């Protein structure tokens, strides 16, 4: 995949039954002339009917698929680190849902691995590309806040008044240092 290449970017998805994958990302890839869904896998049940013709058995089958250039990872947060590492090791570009890792040290380790492997690593965080976010961050009143917030070099803590209903979940579903709350 090069900058001059005009062929569609070929995506593989591991965790193809996740809500964000089925409701947003996979339909967006399908709708794009510059992207192509190539292989998908779900270990939590069958691949949704719309994409069952692209179904691969295991997550490794998607990562090892010779036509997949980018692996999209919408798995439970506690599985991000392992599968991002595996995709990078296979020489694939990665787009992983947030939070990409539970700690800043883990995130730096992944970034270093991606750089060594010559692949791109992205956290799927769309907010900075939203027009409302851009307007808010470019307003004169936000200048002091931007200076205090960017660049992020390490962990930050934010207190809020969000109430979440917690259920018992397997440890592998850990959300790490960030509890999954929508922005």
Cis (ω within 30 of 0) for the bond into 151? yes
CA–CA dist 98, 124 (Å, integer): 6
User: In sequence order, which residues have a C-beta less than 8 Å from that of residue 170 and are 6 or more positions away?
Assistant: 78
Active site residue 98: yes
User: What is residue 94's three-state secondary structure?
Assistant: strand
What lies within 8 Å, CB to CB, of 31 at 6+ separation is none
**Annotated catalytic residue within 24, 98, 174, 175:** 98
Which residues are known catalytic residues?
98
């Amino acid at each position: 995949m090069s900058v001059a290449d005009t062929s569609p970017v070929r995506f593989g998805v591991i965790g193809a039954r996740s809500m964000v994958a089925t409701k947003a990302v996979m339909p967006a890839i399908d709708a794009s002339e510059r992207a192509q869904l190539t292989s998908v896998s779900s270990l939590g049940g069958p691949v949704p009917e719309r994409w069952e013709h692209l179904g691969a058995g295991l997550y490794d089958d998607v990562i090892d698929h010779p036509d997949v250039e980018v692996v999209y990872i919408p798995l439970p947060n506690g599985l991000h680190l392992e599968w991002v590492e595996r995709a990078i090791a296979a020489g694939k570009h990665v787009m992983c849902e947030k939070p990409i890792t539970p700690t800043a040290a883990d995130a730096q380790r992944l970034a270093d691995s991606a750089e060594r492997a010559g692949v791109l690593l992205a956290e799927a965080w769309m907010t900075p590309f939203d027009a409302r976010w851009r307007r808010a961050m470019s307003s004169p009143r936000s200048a002091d806040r931007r200076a205090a917030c960017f660049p992020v070099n390490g962990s930050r803590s934010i207190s809020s008044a969000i109430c979440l209903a917690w259920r018992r979940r397997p440890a592998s579903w850990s959300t790490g240092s960030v509890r999954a709350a929508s922005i």
